[in-house]
Amino acid sequence: MYSNCFFAFSLMAVLQSNLVGVIDFRQEVWPILEKRCIECHREPYEKNGLLKKPKAGLRLDGAAYILHGSDEGTVVVVDHPSKSALYQRVILPENDADHMPPKGDSLTTNQKEILRMWIAEGVDFGTWVGAIDGVEELAERKKNELVQQASYLKEVDQLSEGLIPLNREKLKDLSLKSGLLIRPLGIGSPLVEARVVTEPTKITDGMIKELIPLKEHLAKIDLRNSAITDQSLIEISSFPRLTHLNLMGTQITSKGIRFLRKTQKLENLNLVSTQVSDSVVETIVIFPNLQRLFLWNSNISEAGVSALREKKNDLVVSF
């Protein structure tokens, strides 16, 4: 049994990570799934001469499988733990027939909070991919099956309407040129994400120009701790389908954020530990679809945040 002191410390650590909008899937979420869930939700395997299939058709051993869900439908709904079966099942009372995991102790409060926050922060897998066998088959099934989609999946499909999935070799080539990990946003999706993987200080303004051939397809860019400057935001502002942009730990200033005024689809912006100041408020209020903004450890003042919240009261600001 955990002491109150240890519990408080653990929960504080999780909450502090939320201030910067970061739950590390590989280090925090995957160990929970691997230890408590994978036994029942992994690839089919043979045991005692019998083929064991994943329960409810749900595999949790790969990013694509988690996003695909179970035979009953989607298990994670981006930004909505309350609508995500993966989270809702673990918080049920132990005597409930649907409580997960069905054997052994329940997840700890800390583990439940990690799952909740990971979903609330956008279901970000980071650089983790996990099992990829059969992913192309899943993509074909997604095209051919008539399934009821979660609202966020419909929004993704609408965003990618008219686009054709990019050639895998082209993505690999651009990854090498830019120094970023570039991959599809979901199973069979023509939308892609680009993110820093290693040695972020080597990612410079020049490398961001390598993303221009992908500008119609880029929906999510994570440049945390990279060496980019405001100059890169001129290029990024021309990406019409950009919804998520993480600039945490960069030298970006309020002047640079002004270049992003053309990004009409932007929903999530992370400016933690950047050089933005109170002058960024006049730009932020212009973004028509911005829903979440992270400003912790930046140069903006409490007065600036208050003014922002007053002018754009539908925006969730973490400060």
* 119-177 pLDDT, tens digit each: 887 788 877 878 776 666 666 666 555 444 444 455 666 888 889 888 888 888 888 88
| pLDDT value of residue 20 | 43
| pLDDT value of residue 166 | 87
Domain locations in the chain? 4-144, 156-318
Q: Which residues of the chain are modeled with pLDDT < 70?
A: 1-22, 133-157, 186-187
Task: Decide yes or no: CATH 3.40.50.300 for domain 156-318.
Answer: no
What does the H/E/C string look like for 35-95? HHCCCCCCCCEEECCEEECCHHHCCCCEHHHHHHCECCECCCCCCCHHHCHHHHCCCCCCC
| pLDDT value of residue 5 | 40
CB 100, CB 94: distance < 8 Å: no
Q: Rounded distance, CA 182 to CA 196, Å?
A: 9
| pLDDT value of residue 9 | 34
